[in-house]
Each structure stands twice: as structure tokens, then as C-alpha cells.
Structure 1
Amino acid sequence: MRQEFRTALVTGASSGIGEAFARLLAARGTDLVLVARRGDLLRRLADELAARHRVGVEVLPADLTAPDELERVTGRLAGEPVDLLVNNAGFGAFGPFAEIPLADQLKEIDLNVVALMRLTHAALPDMLRRGRGGVLNVASMAAFTPSPGSAVYGATKAYVVALSESLHAEVIGKGVHVTALCPGFTRTDESAGPDLIWLRRQDVARAGLDAVAAGRALCVPGIQYKLALPALRTAPRALLRTAVNRAWQQAADTKTGE
């Protein structure tokens, strides 16, 4: 059954896909809790959305890699439940694994894996008690392929897909929906339209919201990526590793030559 969400908490809401989630939800009449590190950007967005759509917008600045700040957000979810949790916050450290500082890669895991898991754990119990609610976890097409040059990022997104699909199976039939959103390359601004590779952030956000409302376990936006997914899942892994490694090496050579 398709759900409508009266309240939602969105992480990474100050820009990019997270901002697109906030704008779409506000336009649908959803009251919001917006989470990101940049409180100034959040407040500006909150004022705009509240004035334009007459919805309630709470600003909750937090760095989700900081344990005390993550604790504050999980406490907000447990104490004042929402109908929808959008785990959008995440980042990638790019380059050869052995050359990226360990601290950067641990921070990547803290945000993409630990914070997402803890926020989901905080939100789900009340949703299950009420028999309604949704969790939308933003993963990536990188979850389905080897990711040389972004090894930890790809691994974290594979975790997000595995966790989301497992939770989807756990809660199915209980009125709660858990969905993994797996976009490919996405433009973080609104200056250009879609093309053969790049998706628009608002299209990605809309696809994810529609998928979690409909109770789908997995959402891959964009026809080009929908068509690519079966091949990625069935291709021999050795062949896939060779192909993505060649593409990464070419990209690295191009960058070095600039």
C-alpha cells in the first residue's frame, strides 16, 4: 500500500540530493526536520520552505561523524518520531586506497555506515509500533561493482544495499517500508538537464520518495542505470573487475595529464 508521510527527517539536507528531498517533501505538505553540518544553509532553506509551502521545518545542525552530535539526532528520532527517515548524508574519499589518509576513510565509514545504521535503529521501533513509516537509505550504483579508486565508498554503499534489503524483508507486511536508493552519476546543482550518464538531483529524489512510498526494496533511477543493473549483477566478476579497473586507470591518467 502506498504511504503518505506527514513528517520526515532528512540528513545531508543543505545541498545536492538532500536539498531536493527537502523541497519535494515540503511541496507535498510534509513537515520536516533538516539535518546537516551547515546550520546557516539549513536555516535559509527552512525559512524558504516554510514560507512557500506552509509546512513546519525544524533545523538540527549536526556533524553525524561526531558521536555526541549523532547521539543528539538519534535522540530526536527516538523522542519525537517521524513518518519518514531519509538517510542521505554521505561522502566519498577518492584515490588509491593505500594513499588516502586512514582518518578520511574511517570518517567515511562513520558517516556512510555507522550513522545510517544508528539512525535507522532509532527510527524503526516506533514505526513498527505504529504500523506505518518508511526509511529511505541513499546508496549508489557503486554498490554493485568493484570500485578501484573509491574502494571504501563502494564498500559502504554495498553495506547500505545489503542492510536495506534485509530490513525490507524483516518488516514487510508490518506497514513499514525500507528502501535503498541507488543512483548513478548525479548532478548536485540544477543547472543542466539529464543526459546519457548524468541524472538530475530532483529526478533522483523523486524516484526515491516514490519508491519508499510504494514499498519497493530497491530503486535505481534512470533508464540507463536500470538497463545496466542486470548486466552488473550477472557479469563474471573477473571481467567486471578488469573493466572498471581499466576505466579508473584511464581517468587517473587523464587527471595526471591535465
Structure 2
Amino acid sequence: MENTKQKNQIALVTGAASGLGFELALLLAKDNYDLILADVDAEKLQKAKETITSEYASEVQLIIKDLSRNNIAEQIFQDLDGKPIDVLINNAGFGIFGSFIDTDWQREMDMLNLHVMTTTHLTKLVLKGMVERGSGKILNMSSLAAFQPGPLMSLYYASKAYILSFSEAIANELKGSGVTVTCLCPGQTKTCFQDVVSNGCKASDNKIKFNIGSAKEVAEYGYEAMLKGKVVAIPGNINKFLSKLPRFVSRNTATAIIRRIQEKNREG
């Protein structure tokens, strides 16, 4: 008897070993997507796979690569072996705290390569197939940081502004194609992000933490926005207000406020 079981759609998630990427992968698995999960942390990625497959019937393929390396998007695309990607979530990212004159250039170059080059190139490679099939969804991870300059995290803020602008532009280009692009712009979120930014400082250690969301809550908000085809998704009313801060005060004042928040959160 012929097997008529319909194949699951496939989702590719970068930075999927923990935090928002892992939570988004869980949501996709719950909706019966098969998963391709990419991350540099092999141990955590394997644990993420075990958790997902213990709860859901999704097939899970792992791609263990450093997404901050040059031309890594091409390598990942080759690892897909022709599989059609129905959902792409560009989640991988990290931040660097410190005065621009003092921060490490190699680390900054890696961050820019990850946020700008890998995100853009992987989107370009996957997007062509989506458009040819007339369907697909892309979720790019930006930040509340995208809406104003960020002293002491200058390149992080700038790179997130790039992701927002890029996502909005191609979302417009893709109208009527059956493909949507959503840019998720969360504020402070309880993930391991802070560990990387400031040498072990956790989100729970932040002095200014009235609007910190959980990774699960933020992922659910972003996932629903992606399913609806919303272009820009900002979780939380306080974050929505803060995203409009430069409209109400001068850019100099907004920049000074952001610097004070950065300094306050990392006081000893």
C-alpha cells in the first residue's frame, strides 16, 4: 500500500542551543515542523535535540558550526542537501559591552559578521526557493537596540539597526510573493545573552529590570507575529514606548538615556 503520509515542513533555526532559539524550535516542533538546528555549542545543541524529540515527533538535524565565520552561510546551505526550507529563523547573535576604543576588534568583527553577513547571506540563499514555491516565512532577530544609538554597545546597536532596516526593506519587496519577513525586536530578555556581553553578568543582575521578559514569552510573541506575517514585532508595551523614544526627545537625549541604562546595569 502506498504511503501517503504528508511530509512535514522544514524550519531552520540558528542559535538554537538555548534561549530564544531553543524556545522557537520548541514552538515549531509543537506545530509539526521538522527542524534543522544550527549552533556553535555542540553539547547544548545535542541536549536541545534530546529535549525536543522527547516531547515531539519532529525529525531534528543538527549543524554544529560557528556562524560568525566568513562564508559560513554557504556551508550551512550546502549542508541542507537540497531540503526546502519553509521557515528560516535567524536568531544567532551576541553582544559586546565597553567603550569602542577599548573593545576587542576580532570579537567585534565576529559579531558584525554574524549579525550582518551571515544573516543576510543565509536569507538570500534560502529566500530564492521560498519565492519559487510561493510560500515561506523568515524571522530575523533584531532588538529594541535597533531604534537608537547605544553608547558602550555601539556596534551591537548598529548591527541590530541594520537587521531591522534590511528586514523591513525586503518585506516590502516580497509583498504578493507568498513569503513574509518578520523582525523581532525584544527588550531585555532572560537568556544567557548577558553572560556573553559582560563576563558573567546575568539579566537577573541588571539594576534596571522592570521590563525583562522570559525567553518563552518573547519567543511565543515573535512566533505568533511571524505566523501572521507582521513585519516588526516589539513585545511589551514598555518596549513599544521605548522604541519611539527618539520621537519624543532629541537623539542626543535618547543616546544619553541609553548610556545611563548601560552603565547602571553594570555597576558593581
> After alignment, is 75-84 or 151-160 more displaced?
75-84
SS in 1 for 2:101: helix
Q: Could you give the per-residue CA deviations for residues 124-179 of structure 1, whole angstroms, max 9, x where no partner exists? A: 00000011001100000001111001000000000000000001000011110001
Query: How do 1:80-229 residues align onto structure 2 when only pairs under 5 Å count?
Result: 80-188=83-191, 196-229=210-243
Within 1, Cα distance between the matches of 2:124 and 2:81?
9
Q: RMSD between aligned alpha carbons?
A: 2.0
Q: What runs of 5+ residues in structure 2 fail to find an aligned partner?
A: 1-7, 193-202
Q: How far did residue 30 of structure 1 move?
A: 1.2
One-letter amino acid matched to 1:219: A
Within 1, Cα distance between the matches of 2:137 and 2:110?
26
Change (3 A) 1:8 1:68: same
- In structure 1, the partner of 2:200 is none
Q: How far did residue 46 of structure 1 move?
A: 1.3
One-letter amino acid matched to 1:55: S
Q: Sequence identity of aligned pairs in percent?
A: 33
- In structure 1, the partner of 2:197 is none
- In structure 2, the partner of 1:63 is 66
> After alignment, is 159-168 or 74-83 more displaced?
74-83
> After alignment, is 39-48 or 216-225 more displaced?
39-48
Conserved in 1, the CA contact under 8 Å of 2:89 and 2:139? yes
Q: How far did residue 233 of structure 1 move?
A: 4.1
Change (3 A) 1:175 1:148: same
Q: How far did residue 6 of structure 1 move?
A: 2.4
- In structure 1, the partner of 2:254 is 240
One-letter amino acid matched to 1:239: T
Q: Could you give the per-residue CA deviations for residues 71-105 of structure 1, whole angstroms, max 9, x where no partner exists? A: 32122457222100000000111100000011111
Q: How far did residue 241 of structure 1 move?
A: 2.0
Conserved in 2, the CA contact under 8 Å of 1:14 and 1:41? yes
SS in 2 for 1:180: strand
- In structure 2, the partner of 1:48 is 51
> After alignment, is 16-25 or 37-46 more displaced?
37-46
Conserved in 2, the CA contact under 8 Å of 1:62 and 1:70? no
> After alignment, is 87-96 or 64-73 more displaced?
64-73
Change (3 A) 1:237 1:80: same
Conserved in 1, the CA contact under 8 Å of 2:108 and 2:155? yes
Within 2, Cα distance between the matches of 1:106 and 1:91?
12
Within 2, Cα distance between the matches of 1:246 and 1:205?
28
One-letter amino acid matched to 1:16: G
Q: Could you give the per-residue CA deviations for residues 99-131 of structure 1, whole angstroms, max 9, x where no partner exists? A: 001111111101111110011011100000011
Normalised to the residue count of structure 1, the TM-score between the two structures is 0.89
Normalised to the residue count of structure 2, the TM-score between the two structures is 0.86
Higher helix share: 1
Query: How do 1:71-82 residues align onto structure 2 when only pairs under 5 Å count?
Result: 71-77=74-80, 79-82=82-85
Q: What runs of 5+ residues in structure 1 fail to find an aligned partner?
A: none
